[in-house]
């Protein structure tokens, strides 16, 4: 009898242990599933917040335009140029906007026939000022032009097809700045230097020249406009626009020294922009979602989205 009772006790303990193990596993699965569900919901909410941030950025740009009272300029003194943050209760969204019209348009510095143009000189000066090889411009021109003859420092399909993961030269305009990573010589370090200063977007896809807005152009881009753009002159332009916008050529010429360069750069510069990059981050609990868009905002026309990605 004692042996049977002892055996029954062992069986009871084993069954109890199994039941406890099953209960723990069940609770764990319920916790994990619930956690995944909550994380999924938070991620979706963060994504919606990020998308709403893009819409809010567009509205902010349109509102800023109404405050100009019909004057044709845009500058870093306006509300859109300052980072914005909003609390939605369950989460938050931050919005940052930069004007693409203040950057060097790489598509305008190149040509389908591979022949240099006035904007090519600006691109070459920009590379020189950044202490980057001029061969990068040859690679850029070869990537965009429609012929298969490589320039001295460039590369065509004959080079790219020898790579470990072969591909052909595009022989067409750049669609994104990130595309530069495919070009010979455009290392991550080069892209880090260039990304804040260059764009591939203009007001119109077929415009002969994308003018650079002197109100929003970075120092490096202003310096590249002409050989006569000295550091002192560039700094005077930067100091002027810190407190008030350069609304027209008369304002520009009121800055000492600009009269010496206006004849050379007058056709290359503008005082307003139309293309903006909006980056919005949605935060809900531990989830973060980012939406980024490049939009064209011109007059009373409906804003056009030129680029969009979420991550």
List pLDDT tens digits, range 79-107: 999 999 999 888 999 999 999 999 999 99
Helix (H, G, I), strand (E, B) or coil at 283: strand
Tell me how far apart the alpha carbons of residues 113 and 115 are, in angstroms, rounded to a whole number.
Answer: 6
What pLDDT is stored for residue 89 in this prediction? 82
Phi, psi of 294 (to 5 degrees): -110, 125
Assess contact for 137 and 125: CB atoms under 8 A. Answer: no
Token representation of residue 275: 């293309």
Instruction: Report pLDDT for 25.
Output: 61
Assign 48 a pLDDT band (cuts: 50, 70, 90): very high
Instruction: Give the Cα-Cα-Cα angle 148, 154, 158 (nearest 5 degrees).
Output: 45
CATH superfamily of 103-270: EpsJ-like (1.10.40.60)
- Domain boundaries along the sequence of the chain: 2-101+274-310, 103-270
pLDDT for 27 = 54
| Rounded average pLDDT over 68-75 | 89
Question: What CATH architecture is 2-101+274-310?
Answer: 2-Layer Sandwich (3.30)
**Higher model confidence: residue 234 or residue 302?**
234
**pLDDT for the residue 196:** 96
Per-residue pLDDT at 207: 67
Global confidence as pTM: 0.84
Whole-angstrom distance, CA of residue 179 vs CA of residue 194: 12
Across 53-62, average pLDDT:
95
One fold for both 2-101+274-310 and 103-270?
A: no
- Which of 58-67, 78-87, 180-189, 207-216 is predicted with the least confidence, judged by mean pLDDT? 207-216
Residue 108 has pLDDT above 60, yes or no: yes
Look at residue 15 in the predicted model and tell me its pLDDT.
Answer: 66
For residues 268 and 211, the answer to whether their CB atoms sit within 8 Å is yes
Grade residue 75 by pLDDT with cuts at 50, 70 and 90: very high
């Amino acid at each position: 009898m004692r042996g049977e009772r002892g055996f029954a006790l062992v069986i009871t303990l084993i069954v109890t242990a199994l039941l406890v193990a099953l209960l723990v596993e069940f609770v764990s699965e319920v916790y994990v599933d619930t956690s995944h569900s909550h994380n999924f919901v938070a991620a979706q909410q963060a994504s919606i917040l990020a998308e709403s941030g893009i819409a809010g950025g567009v509205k902010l740009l349109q509102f800023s335009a109404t405050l100009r009272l019909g004057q044709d300029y845009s500058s870093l003194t306006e509300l859109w140029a300052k980072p914005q943050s909003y609390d939605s209760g369950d989460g938050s969204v931050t919005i940052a906007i930069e004007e693409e019209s203040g950057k060097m348009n790489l598509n305008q510095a190149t040509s389908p026939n591979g022949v240099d143009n006035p904007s090519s000189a600006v691109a070459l000066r920009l590379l020189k000022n950044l202490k980057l090889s001029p061969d990068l411009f040859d690679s850029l021109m070869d990537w965009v032009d429609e012929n298969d003859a490589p320039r001295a420092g460039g590369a065509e399909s004959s080079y790219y097809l020898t790579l470990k993961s072969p591909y052909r030269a595009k022989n067409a305009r750049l669609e994104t700045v990130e595309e530069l990573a495919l070009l010979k010589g455009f290392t991550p370090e080069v892209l880090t230097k260039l990304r804040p200063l260059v764009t591939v977007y203009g007001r119109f896809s077929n415009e002969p020249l994308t003018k650079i807005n002197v109100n929003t152009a970075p120092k490096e881009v202003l310096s590249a406009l002409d050989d006569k753009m000295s550091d002192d002159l560039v700094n005077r332009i930067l100091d002027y626009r810190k407190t008030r916008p350069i609304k027209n050529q008369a304002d520009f010429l009121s800055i000492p020294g600009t009269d010496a360069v206006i004849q050379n750069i007058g056709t290359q510069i503008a005082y307003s922009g139309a293309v903006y990059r909006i980056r919005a981050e949605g935060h809900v609990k531990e989830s973060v979602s980012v939406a980024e868009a490049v939009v064209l905002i011109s007059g009373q026309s409906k804003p056009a989205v030129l680029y969009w990605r979420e991550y």
